[in-house]
């Protein structure tokens, strides 16, 4: 029988941080304690939508970064000014949950974000009012899975962290417990 490996951050949350949150916000029920539900990664291709090689390049990059197969997002409307037709792929996205999500957050916080040029921390005001946090990364090459030699284009990406917190204050305390590097 093989032992199932629990990600480091998930174990830290379970053993230490959930109790700290329970005491700080005086939760009566253990199900009230906020937790991270999912992480969504999104890459928009922009002006290169007509080139299928660009979409495939972004698809492969996001697959390497996330460790999971992404899906192609498709244009819902045709916009003549952007030379965009309905049904053309315009980006790629992937939703991470459970074990893969915790491993991605660990790599993001400890390896990728410190590699960003002129990094001064994440903006603590980027919450949506419902406890979810979103931020952008300008270059996907900060992840160690991406090899510089094979990169033809540099893609930006959005990272959305969805939590079960009811308020932004609770979500900020949760993410600070995971050592998210907030600057202000």
Please count the CA atoms within 13 angstroms of the CA of 56 that sit on its side-chain side.
3
pTM above 0.75, yes or no: yes
Integer CA distances (angstroms), 144 to 119, 134, 147, in order: 17, 22, 7
pLDDT of residue 113: 80
pLDDT of residue 162: 92
108 three-class SS: helix
Vertex 89 angle, CA 86 and 92, to 5°: 140
Q: What H or E segment, with its residue span, contains residue 42?
A: strand 36-44
Query: CA-CA distance, 137 to 142, in Å (whole number)?
Result: 9
C-alpha 8: how far from its chain's center?
17
The values of phi and psi at residue 179, to 5°, are 65, 35
pLDDT of residue 184: 62
- Could you give the domains of the chain? 8-124+132-176 (3.30.1440.10)
* Residue ranges of the chain whose pLDDT lies below 50: none
pLDDT of residue 2: 62
């Amino acid at each position: 029988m093989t032992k199932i490996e629990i990600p480091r951050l998930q174990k830290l949350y379970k053993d230490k941080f959930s109790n700290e949150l329970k005491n700080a916000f005086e939760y009566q029920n253990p199900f009230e304690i906020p937790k991270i539900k999912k992480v969504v990664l999104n890459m928009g291709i922009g002006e290169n939508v007509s080139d299928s090689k660009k979409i495939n390049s972004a698809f492969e990059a996001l697959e390497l970064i996330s460790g999971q197969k992404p899906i192609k997002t498709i244009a819902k409307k045709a916009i003549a000014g952007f030379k965009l037709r309905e049904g053309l792929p315009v980006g790629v996205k992937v939703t991470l949950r459970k074990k893969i999500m915790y491993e991605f957050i660990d790599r993001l916080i400890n390896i990728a974000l410190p590699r960003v040029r002129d990094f001064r921390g994440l903006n603590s005001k980027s919450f949506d009012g419902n406890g979810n946090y979103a931020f952008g990364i300008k270059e996907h090459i900060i992840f160690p899975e991406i090899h510089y030699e094979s990169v033809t284009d540099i893609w930006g990406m959005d990272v959305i962290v969805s939590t079960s917190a009811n308020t932004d204050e609770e979500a900020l305390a949760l993410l600070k417990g995971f050592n998210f590097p907030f600057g202000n």
